[in-house]
Amino acid sequence: MLDGIKAVVFDLDGTLVDSALDFGHICDDIGWPRGTALLEQLALIDDSHEHQRVSQIICRHEMYGAQNATWMPGALECLTELSSAGIPLAILTRNMRLATQLTIARLQIPIQHVLTREDCAAKPDPQGLLHLSAQFALPVENMVYVGDYLFDLQTAANAGMRSCLYLNEHNTHFAAQASWTFQHFDELREMLRAQF
C-alpha cells in the first residue's frame, strides 16, 4: 500500500500527540449539540459578537490542549527515523496556528512544514495537501497523509493522496476508507522503512 511514498504528512491532535481535546465538551460550552462540526458551524455565524464568543471558547480549549499535549507512543521515534532518512515531513491540522506552534515548541516536534486552518482551507478541503505537494515538488501519488479521523481520510481522498488511519477505540469504523491502518507508530515506521 505504501509503495512509492517519498513524503509523509501528519495530522497533529489524536495522531502525533494526545491533547485530550474533548469536542463534546467544547460543544457543551458553546451550547451546540454534541457532534457539531465546529469550524463549519462557526463559519455560518453572521453575528460578530456570537462569532467572537464561539471563537474564544474554541481557542481556550485548543490552548489548554496545547499546554497539556503529550506524544503518542512511538511517534517521536518514527519522526526521528524519517527525518534522519531525509524524508520530507509536514503537519496539516485544523488547529489554530498559536496552539499548533505551542504544541510543536513544547514537545520539540521535528517538523518544519506546518499548515494550520489560518494557512489554508480547513480539512476536508484538499488545499493544504496540494500546497505541500507543490512545496515538496512531488506528485500526490508519492505522498501519504496520516491521521486519526474521517476528515483526514476525506482530505487525502479529495487530494488524490493515499491515507493511513491511526486506529483507536473510537475510529475503527472509518478503516474501510483508509488506504492502510496501523495501531502503533512502530508499525508505520516498519512499513515506511521498506520505502526508504
The one-letter code for the residue type at 71 is: W
Helices and strands in the chain: count of H runs, count of E runs: 8, 8
Residue 81 vs residues 41, 58, 76, 186: alpha-carbon distances, Å: 39, 34, 9, 11
Q: Is position 54 within any domain?
A: yes
Flag whether 78 is in a domain. yes
Distances in Å between the alpha carbon of 79 and those of 25, 72, 129, 165?
31, 11, 19, 16
Among 47, 68, 89, identify where a domain stops. 68
Asked if 97 and 170 sit in the same domain, the reply is yes
**12 within some domain:** yes
Q: What is the residue whose three cell numbers read 489560518?
A: 118
> What residue numbers bound the domain in which 75 lies?
7-18+70-193
What pLDDT is recorded for position 1? 57
CA distance 187 to 11: 17
Q: Is the CB of residue 155 less than 8 Å from the CB of residue 125?
A: yes
Residues 77 and 170 both lie in one domain: yes
Per-residue pLDDT of the chain (196 residues; tens, 9 = 90+): 578 999 999 999 999 999 988 889 999 999 999 999 999 999 999 999 999 999 999 999 999 999 999 999 999 999 999 999 999 999 999 999 999 999 999 999 999 999 999 999 999 999 999 999 999 999 999 999 999 999 999 999 999 999 999 999 999 999 999 999 999 999 999 999 887 7
Both 43 and 109 in one domain: the answer is: no
Residue 193: the pLDDT is 86
Cα distance between residue 154 and residue 176, in whole Å: 12
Q: Looking at the structure, do residues 132 and 173 belong to the same domain, yes or no?
A: yes
Q: Is residue 1 part of a domain?
A: no
Do 116 and 164 sit in the same domain of this protein?
A: yes
Task: Report the domain count for the chain.
Answer: 2
Q: Are residues 144 and 77 in the same domain?
A: yes
Is the domain of 159 the same as that of 91? yes
pLDDT of amino acid 20: 82
Q: Which long-range contacts (CB under 8 A, 24 or more apart) does 37-41 make?
A: 39/94, 39/117, 39/122
Query: Which residue from 10, 33, 7, 1 is spatially nearest to 146, judged by alpha carbons?
Result: 10
Domain boundary among 68, 86, 103: 68
